[in-house]
Each structure stands twice: as C-alpha cells, then as structure tokens.
Chain A
Amino acid sequence: MPRIESAEMLKNIQEKFRKELEAYPMVISICHGMSCRATGAVEVANAFEKIVGGSSDIRFIRSGCQGFCEKGPLSVVRPSNIFYQMLKPGDVNEVIQKTVERGEVIDRLLYANPTTGEKLGKEHEIDFYAKQHRVVLELNGYIDPLRIEDYFAHDGYSALAKAMTEMERGHIIEEMIDSNLRGRGGAGFSAGWKWKTCSEAPGERRHIICNADEGDPGAFMDQAVLEGNPHSVIEGMIIGAYAIGGTDGHIYIRHEYPYAVHTFQNALDQARDYGLLGENILGTGFDFDIQVCFGAGAFVCGESSALVRSLQGQVGEPRDKFVHATEQGYHDEPTNLNNVETWANVPHIINKGAQWFRGIGTKGSPGTKVFSLVGKVENTGLIEVPMGISLREIVFDIGGGIKEGKDFKAVQTGGPSGGMLSEAQLDLPVDFDELDKAGSMMGSGGMIVMDENTCVVDVAKYFIDFLIDESCGKCLPCREGLRQMSNMLHRICDGDGKLKDINDLEALGETVAATALCGLGKSAPNPVLSSIRHFRDEYIAHIVEHKCPGGVCKALISYHVLPDSCTGCGSCAKVCPSDAIHTVPGKKRKDGLLHEIDLEACVKCGACIDICPENAIEKRSPAEVPVGAARS
C-alpha cells in the first residue's frame, strides 16, 4: 500500500475508495458493538458473510455500536435504510431473499413504536434516533472500523491534511479556542486553552495523551468510539500533536476492553502503513506516533496525574494539585491529555470550522455529547445529542420512558463523581454549567435512569463504596471521610439510622469535597449530597418509618405471596434457598396448593419473585415482621 506523501495524494486515495464504495449498489451493515455481540451479532454476521461476503453487488460491514443496543443484534440495509432488529442467524436467509433480492420489507423484524404499535421501517423514523445529532458517532454504522479505506471513503484524514497544509499551528489552536470545545472526560476544561498552555510550556519534548480509561462504572461511550471509528481519534491526536508541537503520543486504554484495544491497534498499524503516523507525515517533515498502554483496572488512573504515573510503569497515585500536567506531566515534561471523545471532535471542528461547531448546543457548552443511556429506561443505548437538550427529552423521547410503565424517580449523570436529579430537574438543559448548578455534573457521559423500584440511598451507598474501593488512600479526607460516610449510609439502609446522620453526611461530605487531594475525593460526596438535596424524604422514610420506598434495602422489606394471584405452581418453593415457602393446607389453587412465605425463615433473596410466573409475590416496606421476632 502506498505511503501518502502529500495532501494531493490523500485526495486521490479518498477518491479511489469513495468510488469503490459507491460502486456497490447496496450496503448491509450489521452492528458488531459490545451489546450486539453479547446477544448474538457474531453468529448473525457470520451467516450474512457466508452468503454475501465477497459479492461485488453488496458491501457487507461489521460496524461499531449503532446505538440502539436494546434491540440488538441489528442491521441496516442501505440505501433504503431499512432497519431490522433482534436478528437471529435464522433470519438471515429471509433478509437476503426478500429484502436484498426483491426489496421487500420483512414486517416481523421491524421495530414497533411501543405506544402506537406502528411498525417503523427506517432508522430515522424511530424516536430513539430522531432527536439525536450525530457528529462523533456519525460514521458508526457506515464504516468497517477495521478498514482505514472506509474512513478514507468518507473523507477521513481530510482535517489532518487541512491542518497541516493550509493552517498555521497557532491558527489551529485559535480555531480550537474559538470553538469552545470543552473536555468530554468530565471536567469540561477548554481543549483549545489546554493546547495553548501546553504548546507554550518550556521543554524539549511534548507528550500527547488520549485518556481511554473510561472509569465510570456504568458507561461505554469511549469504548464505542474506539470500536466504531478509531481513526477519528487518531486523526484528532495527530492534529493536536501537530498544533502543540507534540513529539510522541500515548493512548491509555482499559485492559477490560480487549476488542477496543484490538480495533485501535489495528487502526494504528493501518495509519502507519499509509504513512499517516511515523516520520514525515504528509510530506510536511512532522514526525509523530502513538503507543498503546493498558490501564490495569484502577478508577483513579483516569485522573490525569495518576494516569501519567501509571504510564510510567508506577502505582497510579495522583500528584499534588498545584502540579499541572500541561507543564509537568509525563516525565515531568509538558503533556496534553484529552479524553477519547474530545479528540474525536477535533477533525470535525477543523473540517467545518469553529463557527459551525458553536452553532450546535448552547453558548457555554457548544457541540454534542455522547451518553450511554442505561438503567431502567425502555431504550438502553448509546446516544449523541446536542448540548442543551433537556433531560426529559433524553429520558422520555429518546429513551422511550421507563421500563414496564413504571414511574420515573431519578437520573444520575457523571457517574460516581456526579449527582442524582429528580423529576423537578427534568427540564434542565444538559450543559456543563447547568448540571453543575443542580449539584450533578456532566461527567464523561454515563446516564443512569432510575425508576420507582430503585432506592436512592442504596445507589448513593453503591457509589461511595465503589470509591472507597478505588481510593488510593493517599490523603486522609478521602480515606477516612468516605469510610465514615459509608458507615452512616449502611446504617440508614439497615434501618438503624438517626435523623442526625443526614446532617452529619452533609457536613462530612462538604469537608471531604473541600479538602481531598484529587478529583476522586473532591467529587466523591456528590451522589450523597445530591440525593439528600433532591430526595431528603427518602432518607427520612428509611430512618423514621423504616421504609425503603424503592423496596431495595433488605432490612426494610418483606416478601409475601398474594393469595389471589398464586396458582400454586410451586416454582417459588423449588428455588427458595432457605426452604421458607410452604403450601397452605387445604387452600386449593389452579395448579396446586396456595403457597406462603415463612417470614422468619426468609432471607430476602428475591429468587421467588424472579421465578414466579404469575407476579404473585410482592415486597412490602416497612417489613412486616412476625410477632415477637427481632427486626433484622
């Protein structure tokens, strides 16, 4: 394969692959993202490939996550844009025979609007996609991430050529500042200003780093970008390196993402083969390459100074906060670190200009944001929305509302560093500053939806316990303060809390936030403080009434068989680990005798609820305790 030695040559290569792609009358794209792979996309893709692989009429693509993970495995046939969901290998023949060969639509594979039942054949007709604005995810679904040629066919690396041949270095940085692209890794610092500071810091070498640690334990945006369009990240990094004067590049990817690692490494190799990484890039005399380094499973290593230590082969403890990585980062030399999604935005800004970028989103937070919309929401998946969209639109229009028609309770943005927002905040525009004001934060893009059956105290406890586990232990407020907060939260969930605990949690949380050394400790109290702020009544219910409104906290609930719904099938008794379910002599039901739970023997595992085919078992809170028994 030829080394691309000039912008001109890049144009020719793009043209060549565009024509090659356009020569195919039809494209079948099957999602090969994580969720779809986990639900059988690999087998479906193999079945397709067996039939159409190598065909000159049909281009077959295994794409990155297309977003609508809930309905995977899914495929899109283009140009007709027919969208099929929940495919099985057995469906493939029919898709080929009917849709591919005769242009017919197969009704049973279409998505049905859950409220109207109307079958929707086209991707853009589906609510989930209609309100999205795709920039970073634009090509997910259109390109094979393992082929740089597909990226070329969609003008890939044009921004790099433009930056290197038509723009001065300072001009690139100006454009970035002007775009007001704010870091997508959480803190929302202006990328352009960071680049400028780093480019001006004294030093021989400058290091360019991509943070792909994706530590938020309920989020997969960066994984989807790396797996779906790795070259957009590489292109962004080369542009950044060129503008800043970067000498070497590093990407820090979590080891738990083997497929993302594979895709990215493959992309690096291809970029090197074409001469887009290495020496004398595009004939400009600029040298740059990117090395892959693995994160070994430590949340704190997503923090920039800890990440840098980890890159150096050390234990990832954060450094004192007065040390700035832009001046003293990797090897104590100037270092510019940005998140995956931040880098992936760069080529778009260079191609289309700062003004175009500012035209999307809000004044303070221009552009789009990718979220992983998960939890108790109907349409789980990966979404990209313009900043400024309301949480309500995300949860109800794109997300399709709450699963099983339950009531909405809360939404958490920003992962363990963020906060919970309630119904009253649903009309807030999604914007760095607005979310901050409401006691949450944008974070890297995890968005967890909670329904009436979720307990906010339990979730706050979950995050604090997660962070205790992940704290490096270097400073006292984080090490001891979080432990104390956790003790109080456990007490409340166990029904032993006191009203004073709420005030103590607030006071301690504020102290930890003010005194911890790094961002982990500083933001750790957020989930607790925000949940107290917006759901104080739930804390009080736990403490005063021994009631868990979500029905989650074991000590505060009890399980009961509803005599009118039970058919006597006996499934529950079979799975009960503590032999707590017995028949009630003489009470006949359709399939046997009525069953009953012995409250004293029940260990509240919930296995019976999971298995009961009749929804005949319910949880009650406060727990109904047998007379004379001690509350557990």
Chain B
Amino acid sequence: MEAIKELSVIEPTSKTEKEVEELVKDWGNDGEKLIMAMLAVQDKYNWLPPDALDYLSRRFEVPKGQIYHIATFYKVFSLVPRGKHILKLCMGTACHVRGAPMIADALQRDYDIPLGSTSDDGLFTLERVNCVGACAIGPVLVVDGQYRGNMTQNRASAVIKRLKRLAEKEAENA
C-alpha cells in the first residue's frame, strides 16, 4: 500500500517522464531495480537524459548523487547523447591478438573518433566491447547491431565512408 501512495505523489508530467514511467511501471519504487531501470532508459534513448535521471531519482527515492555514481561506474551508461550510428569495436583478447588495436588507431587517426567517443558531427559513436562471442571471425566491428567479422582498418574505413555518404545524401534530400 505504501508504495502505491508514494507513487501517486510523483505523477509523471513531461513527455520524458511519462515515457520513463512506462518503462519502469512494474517495479514499484524498489530501489534495487534502479540499475535495471537505468538500463531500460539507456536502451530507449541510447543515453541517460538528465530529466529521465531526475525522474528516476524521485521515483525510486534514490539521491541523485548515487544515480550519477552508478551511471559513471557501469560501462554501458552514457551521460551524453550518442551518435546516430553506434559502432562497437571488439577489443576482447581474441580480437586484440588479431589486430583490433590497429583498427581503433585508424578510426582515431583518419576520422578523429577515438574509442569511447562520439564524432563532432554526431554521426558516430565508437565504443569498446569485450568479446561478443564471435571470436572465430575476429576482429569484429558491430555496426548498428550488425556483426562484421574479419575486420581490417581498410574495411572499417569503408564502413565509415559509406555511412557518411548516406548522411550527406539524406541531408541533400531533406
């Protein structure tokens, strides 16, 4: 009963709040579900928007400081908006010994996208992942959820160029 009373006090109002509420509505205000809730938010928006975290803080009665501590401790969370295309470069051991670092170097050198960053134009976010379970075809680059195996810097570069061209075309058409 208590949980229900509390919840009625923090009626979601803004669009974000309503969307977030939709994601977490089954969890009462059980603080233990906070990380799961943050993951759901991250999955929806691709990052953790501040107003969503604000709402979670009130909703789960967890101080904002603690939410930000969690958001920085766990690797999947991002406190800044991520790029339109998410590139995940596997830096797991198997991919490492097969040359993944050369690909990371190339993306930084040629396109100014260091591992763990988003490009200035907001087009790409390049993330490090550790073993996606496809070691047989390593090095692996996951491009918007699509697994690309036997990656080389030349092929990674082709991926970037293709997506850039696509974006340019879209901009022209718009």
Binding site for B on A (CB under 8 A): 33-35, 37-39, 69-70, 72, 215-220, 223-224, 255-257, 293-294, 296-299, 310-316, 372, 374-376, 380-381, 412, 415, 446, 448, 450, 454, 459, 462-463, 466, 472, 575, 577, 603, 605-607, 610-611
| B7 contact set on A, CB distance < 8 A | none
What are 6 pairs between A and B in contact, CB < 8 Å? A70-B136, A313-B33, A316-B73, A450-B97, A472-B73, A607-B106
Residue in B76, B77, B133, B154 with the greatest tally of chain A CB atoms within 10 Å: B133
State in angstroms the CA–CA spacing of A610 and B152 once bound together.
7
Decide if B70 touches A375 in the complex (CB within 8 Å).
Answer: no
Given A35-B133, A294-B35, A448 and B97 contact (CB-CB distance below 8 Å): yes
Report B161 CB to chain A, min CB distance, Å: 12
Sorted nearest first, the 4 A-B pairs with minimum C-beta distance are: A218-B93, A297-B75, A217-B130, A220-B133
Decide if B93 touches A35 in the complex (CB within 8 Å).
Answer: no
Contact pick for B136, options A380, A466, A472, CB 8 Å: A380
Contact pick for A376, options B36, B69, B97, B110, CB 8 Å: B97
Decide if B75 touches A374 in the complex (CB within 8 Å).
Answer: no
Which size class do B's interface residues fall under? 35 or more
Q: Which residues of B (131-165) have their CB < 8 Å from a CB of A?
A: 131-138, 140, 147, 149, 152-154
Given A39-B137, A296-B35, A605-B102, A217 and B77 contact (CB-CB distance below 8 Å): no
Decide if A607 touches B153 in the complex (CB within 8 Å).
Answer: yes
| B66 contact set on A, CB distance < 8 A | 315
Given A217-B130, A448-B94, A605 and B153 contact (CB-CB distance below 8 Å): yes
Contact pick for B73, options A223, A294, A298, A375, CB 8 Å: A298
Binding site for A on B (CB under 8 A): 31-36, 38-39, 62, 66, 69-70, 73-77, 91-99, 102, 105-106, 109-110, 129-138, 140, 147, 149, 152-154
| Given A256-B129, A314-B70: 20 more A-B contacts, CB < 8 Å | A37-B147, A39-B149, A69-B134, A69-B136, A216-B131, A217-B91, A217-B92, A217-B131, A219-B131, A224-B133, A294-B39, A296-B39, A297-B74, A297-B75, A313-B36, A372-B135, A381-B136, A466-B130, A577-B109, A607-B152
| B134 contact set on A, CB distance < 8 A | 34-35, 38, 69
Residue in A38, A255, A450, A611 with the greatest tally of chain B CB atoms within 10 Å: A38
Report A180 CB to chain B, min CB distance, Å: 30
State in angstroms the CA–CA spacing of A256 and B88 once bound together.
11
| B77 contact set on A, CB distance < 8 A | 296
State in angstroms the CA–CA spacing of A220 and B39 once bound together.
22
Decide if A606 touches B147 in the complex (CB within 8 Å).
Answer: no
Decide if B153 touches A296 in the complex (CB within 8 Å).
Answer: no
State in angstroms the CA–CA spacing of A298 and B76 once bound together.
9
Decide if A605 touches B106 in the complex (CB within 8 Å).
Answer: yes
Given A255-B76, A577-B110, A72 and B97 contact (CB-CB distance below 8 Å): no
State in angstroms the CA–CA spacing of A98 and B39 once bound together.
48
State in angstroms the CA–CA spacing of A458 and B112 once bound together.
24
Contact pick for B109, options A34, A219, A255, A603, CB 8 Å: A603
Output the nearest chain A residue to B33 by Cβ-Cβ distance.
Answer: A313
| A459 contact set on B, CB distance < 8 A | 93, 96-97
| A577 contact set on B, CB distance < 8 A | 106, 109-110
Decide if B97 touches A611 in the complex (CB within 8 Å).
Answer: no
| B110 contact set on A, CB distance < 8 A | 577
State in angstroms the CA–CA spacing of A603 and B109 once bound together.
10
State in angstroms the CA–CA spacing of A472 and B132 once bound together.
23
Contact pick for A256, options B73, B102, B132, B153, CB 8 Å: B132
State in angstroms the CA–CA spacing of A532 and B169 once bound together.
54
Contact pick for A72, options B35, B62, B74, B136, CB 8 Å: B136
Report B51 CB to chain A, min CB distance, Å: 21
Given A35-B137, A296-B35, A220 and B106 contact (CB-CB distance below 8 Å): no
Decide if B93 touches A446 in the complex (CB within 8 Å).
Answer: yes
Report A227 CB to chain B, min CB distance, Å: 9
Decide if B154 touches A220 in the complex (CB within 8 Å).
Answer: no
Report B165 CB to chain A, min CB distance, Å: 18
